[in-house]
Amino acid sequence: MDRKKSIDKNRNQGSIGITAKEKRTLEHRKSLYEKYVGGKVHWGNFLSAISLLGLTELGIFEIVKTTREGPAIECLNCNKAFSIANIDELPAMNYITCPNCEYKFVIFFDMN
Ligand SMILES: [Zn+2]
């Protein structure tokens, strides 16, 4: 029973096996990303942000730059503006679905 518990625990953590070299590379890129956004980010936020950046790079998602002061985001597809709740608590990069037409895109909060 204890054994099963520890397996479940590992599964919940969802850790990914990486080598020490890969870890150093990721840590280096994370520090570059932190410089770019101007603050410490959690690993989860960093990994989701770089995967979103990669997908926008591949043209899978379009990216919209905005500021946290901007109260509304304009959809790239239907041009309808909508607000995002708890804007201050969101990570720098976010995957957004338009509530009007369900178009999916990425917003990036420009820190400058
Ligand atoms: Zn839309």
pTM of this structure = 0.71
Distance 33 CA to ligand 1 centre (A): 29
Residue boundaries of the structural domains of the chain: 20-109
Distance 17 CA to ligand 1 centre (A): 39
In three-state form (DSSP H/G/I as H, E/B as E, the rest C), the secondary structure along the chain is CHHHHHHHHHHHHCCCCCCHHHHHHHHHHHHHHHHHHCCCCCHHHHHHHHHHHHHHHCCCCCEEEECCCCCEEECCCCCCEEECCCHHHCCCEEEEECCCCCCEEEEEECCC
Distance 50 CA to ligand 1 centre (A): 24
pLDDT in tens, 20-52: 999 999 999 999 999 988 889 899 989 999 899
pLDDT in tens, 57-77: 999 999 998 888 866 789 999
CA separation (Å) from 107 to 21, 22, 56, 72, 110?
31, 28, 10, 11, 9
Dist. CA 96–CA 52, nearest whole Å: 11
